[in-house]
Amino acid sequence: MSGGYISARGVAGDLDLDADVCVIGSGAGGSTVATELALSGLRVVVLEEGARVDAALHGQMRPSESLRHVWRDGALTVALGVGDSPSINVTMAKVVGGSSMVTGGVCFRIPESVGQHWASELGLAEYHPRVMEPLFEHVEKAIHVEEVPAAMRSRSTQLFAEGMLKRGVELKPIRRNTKGCNGCGRCNFGCPEVAKLSVDVSYLPRAVAAGATVYSHTWVDRVTTAGGRVTGVTGRLLQGPRGEPRGRLRVRAGRVVLAAGAWHSPGVLMRSRLGHPRWVGRGMTLHPGFRVLGRFDAPVRGWQGALQSAYTDAFEDEGITLMGLFVPTGVLGATMPGVGREHLENAAKIGHLAMFGGIVHDKGGGSLHRIPGREPLALYRMDAEDKARIPRLLTLMAEAFFAAGAREVFLPVLGTRGMDADAFRRFDLSAVPGSRWESASQHPLGSARMGCSRENSVVDGEGRVWDVPGLYVADGSILPTSLGVNPQLAIMTTATRVAWRLRDRFRREA
């Protein structure tokens, strides 16, 4: 049997399909589930709101083209800060392959401490690190996870590493899902070498070869049920010139796997009136991220080298992870402070800038709400302890840059300019109001969380929505807490477990 890729834009009229399993969303979670199930012989249909963009073509796009064709809303999605919380720019992709297409390729297993917490405190024994080991190995093989060699570190990362070492902390190498990477450093906007093995390259072709069909430009409105059991999904075909809904979509399937990502899966559940209303769209974590730039006298050319190659978990107990990164010069230039001449002067420093980032291992202060249209309203109330972590995180990064010889640092605080070491030490980070932090998130998680009781979660440990036979969730939304590290590997591994259990159940019930 052979499947294929079909764009709803090429379909005249409506679309009416039958499948054993309908998967909503083709990102890290959805592609993994679809592949495992198709390889098991099930008839799988994947529905994806975004377009299909060939990986090689994506690798040739300018960042501005990638933002338009691959990223959701041109990367301008925001979780609005409530009270004294920062508003956070939450980026994700809308494309066949989902946000996997725009990652830096970083792959972390679920940290030991997090897995143990899930197993012992949340009653999710199957997520104990020891039990998860074979699943991690399975996924890591499928996406070719390898360690980034030290030789591929950018000068930007080397400088940060030198500064950290002077403060007694040695950076660790990052692992990524790459094969044949040449360290050109533009992973987030497509890989010119197709060396980043995102799911559109690693998983989906295997699903299609095994008979799955992937429909792009299809938007799922809701899951349908009869007598409490899942019967399929309904939605729209995005056939208009600007992606407006035109034709109707209907898929009949006894099993539906919701994998629209933590930002959108709750919306499908809410519109379908399924899942525990107290938890659907609640408790979302974001890993709020902050970056610091250090300016050096000598050229840094931070764009040369693997985008992300080193990190430290030395501050894990404080809920902080620090990680190397860089952004394309055009994008970086636009974020430098100042207007007119001052901006020009700051933008001219780009070749001398090093950059490092940090994320907060946050508690679930995010919530998603239904409003007209296809996007949710997202709010984020940052926990007081998480807020207190921001000054510490920025101080760690700024001090490391100064220790490495930086002349000035640029902080993610609206309205500030470059600061030398004295100015930085005089600057009271603890007095910065939430509205002035510049924060970004690439990791929305936990908005339809997994648990061991229907009273405190949306799905059980196998991803089954409580009391809705046939309905599963297998994406970032089911992770019950934030991880403190990048989540794609955790999502794919969890999705693999969901797929295998669904497959076994399907065979028993057939």
- Active site positions, annotated: 443
Task: Return the one option of ligand FAD, ligand SF4, none that residue 468 interacts with (CB less than 5 to 8 A, by type).
Answer: none
Residue 305 or 463: the one with the smaller Cβ distance to ligand SF4 is 305
Q: Strands 213-216 and 4-7, how do they pair? A: parallel
Helix (H, G, I), strand (E, B) or coil at 20: strand
Using rule CB under 6 A, residue 488 touches ligand FAD: yes
Tell whether residue 106 is a contact of ligand FAD (CB under 6 A): yes
The closest of 436, 15, 53, 482 to 220, measured between CA atoms, is 15
Residue 184 interacting partner from ligand SF4, ligand FAD, none (CB closer than 5 to 8 Å by kind): ligand SF4
| Shortest reach from residue 197's CB to ligand SF4, in Å | 9
Q: Give whichever of 306 and 396 is closer to ligand SF4, judged by the CB atom.
A: 306
Mask of contacts with ligand SF4, 104-133, x by CB under 6 A?
-x----------------------------
Nearest distance from residue 251's CB to ligand FAD, in Å?
Answer: 11
Q: What DSSP element (H or E) covers 44? A: strand 44-47
Closest CB to ligand SF4 among residues 56, 125: 56
- As measured in angstroms, the least distance from the Cβ of 328 to ligand SF4 is 11
Question: Nearest CA to 164 among 310, 319, 296?
Answer: 310
Return the residue of 157, 213, 239, 486 that touches ligand FAD, per CB under 6 A: 486
Distance, CA of 258 to CA of 279 (rounded, Å): 16
- Of 118, 116, 144, 145, the C-alpha closest to 130 is 116
Closest separation between CB of residue 314 and ligand FAD, Å? 20
DSSP string of 77-123, one letter each residue? -EEEE-TTPPPEEE--B-BTTGGGGGS--B--PPPHHHHHHHHHTS-
Q: Which does 475 bind (CB under 5 to 8 A by kind): ligand SF4, ligand FAD, none?
A: ligand FAD
The tokens describing 177, both together, are: 């899902």
- Residue 103 touches which of ligand SF4, ligand FAD, none (Cβ within 5-8 Å per kind): ligand FAD
β-bridge pairing 439-441 and 310-312: unpaired
The tokens describing 264, both together, are: 């959108």
Q: Does 185 bind ligand FAD (CB under 6 A)?
A: no
306 binds ligand SF4 (CB under 6 A): yes
State which of residues 7, 77, 85, 99 lies at the interface with ligand FAD (CB under 6 A).
99
Our CB check for ligand FAD shows the closer of 222 and 417 to be 222
Burial of 339 (0-12, 13-18, 19+ CB in 10 A): exposed
Phi/psi for 76 (5° steps) reads -105, 10
Contact between 346 and ligand FAD per CB under 6 A: no
486 interacts with, out of ligand SF4, ligand FAD, none, CB within 5 to 8 A per kind: ligand FAD
Contact region with ligand FAD (CB under 6 A), list: 9-17, 85-93, 341-349, 463-471 = 85-93
Residue 218 in tokens: 């299809």
Q: Is 262 in the site for ligand FAD (CB under 6 A)?
A: yes
d(CA 264, CA 220): 10
Q: Contact region for ligand FAD (CB under 6 A) — 25-33, 224-232, 313-321, 400-408?
A: 25-33
Nearest to 202 by CA among 176, 238, 167, 172: 176
Footprint (CB under 6 A) of ligand SF4, residues 178-197 = 178, 181-187, 191, 193, 195-196
91 binds ligand FAD (CB under 6 A): yes
Question: Long-range pairs for 227-231 at CB < 8 Å and ≥24 separation?
Answer: 228/467, 228/468, 228/469, 229/254, 229/468, 229/469, 229/470, 230/254, 230/255, 230/256, 230/468, 230/469, 230/470, 230/471, 231/470
Rg (CA), the chain: 22
Q: Which region holds residue 55: left if phi is over 0, alpha if psi is between -120 and 50, else beta?
A: alpha
48 binds ligand FAD (CB under 6 A): yes
Size of the site for ligand SF4 (CB under 6 A): 15
Q: Which of 186, 264, 389, 503 binds ligand FAD (CB under 6 A)?
A: 264
99 is in the binding site of which of ligand SF4, ligand FAD, none (Cβ under 5 to 8 A by kind)? ligand FAD
Using CA atoms, how far apart are residues 113 and 38, in angstroms rounded to an integer?
34
Distance CA 225, CA 209 (A): 30
Q: Which two tokens stand for residue 5?
A: 């890729």
Which residues form the interface with ligand SF4 (CB under 6 A)? Answer: 105, 178, 181-187, 191, 193, 195-196, 306-307
Which residues form the interface with ligand FAD (CB under 6 A)? Answer: 24-30, 47-50, 91-95, 98-100, 102-106, 188, 219-220, 259-262, 264, 268, 442-443, 475-476, 486-489, 491
